[in-house]
Amino acid sequence: MFEEYLTERQVISIIRELSNEMAENYPGIKISIGDDAALFHFSGGDVLLTTDCIFEGIHFNLDTHSLSDVGWKAAACGVSDIAAMGGQPLCVLMSLAYSEPLSEEQIRSLLGGFIEMLETCNCALIGGDVSRSRSGLSLVVTVAGVPHIRGSVRRSGAKVGDLIGLTGHTGDSAAGLYILSKNDEKLRARFPELVESHLRPKPRVEAGWIIASAGASAMEDTSDGLARDLLHICEESKLGCILEERLLPVSQSLVSLAEHEGEDPFEWFMGGGEDFELVFTASEKAFGEISRCCGERGIPVTMIGRMVSANEGSFIVRKDGSRVNIENLGYEHFA
C-alpha cells in the first residue's frame, strides 16, 4: 500500500499493473505501459484512430459522477467514435491529468471503471500519459480500431431518399443528468435507468458493425445530441433531412419523467447528447437488413425520417404538424 497521496510514478505503476493484467489476454499487444510508446500488431490494411477528451466541470462533475463513472465515460466516448465508423476497437491510450493529488483508492476506482468499459468490447489499455493539470481532472482517450472489411461508414455518403435510422433511443442520458443535477434522491430512485444511461453509457459497437456490414451510406454517434449529429451528416453529405416526431423512439422512462416534471421530452431527445447511440442513413434494402440483423441480437433500430435535397432544409415535423429547423436544436461549445 502507498501513502495517502500518490506520486506520479506511483500512479503510473498502478495503471501499469491494471493494464498488464488486461494485456495478458491480448497477444497482439507487444509493448504496453512502461516505454515511450506502445506497440501492437496489426495484420495489415487500414487503421482507425480517434481521440476524445472529457474535462471536469465541462463534461462531468465529481458531485454527480463517481471516479469509476468518469473512467467508464471517458472510455465510452472513445470507443463510440470507432463504433460510429462501423469499426472494432482494438486498443486504447489514456492521457490522465489532475490538479489535486489522487489516493490509491481513487486511481483504482477511476481505472476500474475505465477498464470495465473496455472489457465489454474486448479492447485493451496499452499506454498513456500522466500529468498535472491546472484545474480539475481530465482524461483524453485515444482508440485504435479495425475498420469493417466493407469500408468505414463516413458522414458524407448519405443519398437523397435514404432512410434515417437510430439505434436505441436518445435523450435518456440528458434526462439522467437532469435528475442528477436536481440532487433529489426520490427522483433518482424512481428513474434509476435514466441515471444509469448518463453515468454508464454503452457504445453500440456490435450495432455499428452490423450497420456497416449492410452497407449503410452514412453514420455518426449521438454524442452531441441527435439534432446536431444528424446535421453533421447533412452538411458532409450536402443534403437535408426530414424527421417526424411521431416516429421518434422515446423511452418509457423518459416519457414518465417528462410527465412527472411537467417537461416536454423533445428537447432532451433532440438536443441532449452523450447517449452514444448511432444515427445512420441507408437505402431501403440495406435498412431492412440492418433491422433484421439488429433485431436478432436484441438491438432496437427505428426509422425516424428520410434524407432530402439540401434546398428542402433540415427539419422535424412535430406532432402538431409544425416544422422545427433542427439547426436550432442541440449543443455547441462557444456557440
Using CB under 8 A as the binding rule, the residues of this chain from 128 to 167 that contact its own copies are: 128-136, 138, 140, 142-145, 147, 152, 154-156
Q: Name the residue nearer to its own copies (CB basis): 77 or 194.
A: 77
Binding mask 264-303 for its own copies (x = CB under 8 A): ----------------------------------------
b (16+ CB within 10 A) / e for 218-228: bbbbbbbbbbb
Q: Report the C-alpha gap between 46 and 103 in whole angstroms.
A: 40
Q: What is the DSSP string of 168-207?
A: S-SSHHHHHHHHHHHT-HHHHHH-HHHHHHHHS----HHH
Q: Name the residue nearer to its own copies (CB basis): 129 or 184.
A: 129
Q: Report the C-alpha gap between 125 and 105 in whole angstroms.
A: 19
Q: Report the C-alpha gap between 32 and 279 in whole angstroms.
A: 34
Please give the residues from 97 up to 116 whose contact with its own copies meets the rule CB under 8 A: 97, 101
Nearest distance in Å: CB 120, its own copies = 19
Nearest distance in Å: CB 258, its own copies = 28
Element (H, E) at 301: strand 301-309
Number of residues that bind its own copies (CB under 8 A): 73
Instruction: Give Cα separations from 290 to 145, 201, 207 (angstroms).
Output: 22, 22, 9
Nearest distance in Å: CB 204, its own copies = 12
List the strands of the sheet with 88-98, edge to edge.
124-132, 88-98, 138-146
Q: Name the residue nearer to its own copies (CB basis): 13 or 256.
A: 13
Please give the residues from 2 up to 31 whose contact with its own copies meets the rule CB under 8 A: 5-9, 30-31
Please give the residues from 191 up to 250 whose contact with its own copies meets the rule CB under 8 A: 220-221, 236
> Are the beta carbons of 172 and 252 closer than 8 angstroms?
no
**Binding flag, residue 126, its own copies (CB under 8 A):** yes
Q: Name the residue nearer to its own copies (CB basis): 136 or 247.
A: 136
Instruction: Give Cα separations from 191 to 169, 170, 177, 271, 298 (angstroms).
Output: 16, 15, 11, 20, 22
Among 76, 91, 164, 175, binds its own copies (CB under 8 A): 91
Q: Name the residue nearer to its own copies (CB basis): 129 or 193.
A: 129
**3-class secondary-structure state, position 97:** strand
Q: Are strands 88-98 and 124-132 parallel, antiparallel or unpaired?
A: parallel
Please give the residues from 314 up to 333 whose contact with its own copies meets the rule CB under 8 A: 332-333
Q: Name the residue nearer to its own copies (CB basis): 130 or 195.
A: 130
Among 19, 23, 33, 59, binds its own copies (CB under 8 A): 59
Among 93, 163, 214, 270, binds its own copies (CB under 8 A): 93
Nearest distance in Å: CB 285, its own copies = 24
Q: Name the residue nearer to its own copies (CB basis): 142 or 173.
A: 142
Please give the residues from 26 up to 55 whose contact with its own copies meets the rule CB under 8 A: 30-31, 34-53, 55
> Are the beta carbons of 127 and 40 closer than 8 angstroms?
no
Please give the residues from 71 up to 90 whose contact with its own copies meets the rule CB under 8 A: 80-82, 84-85, 87
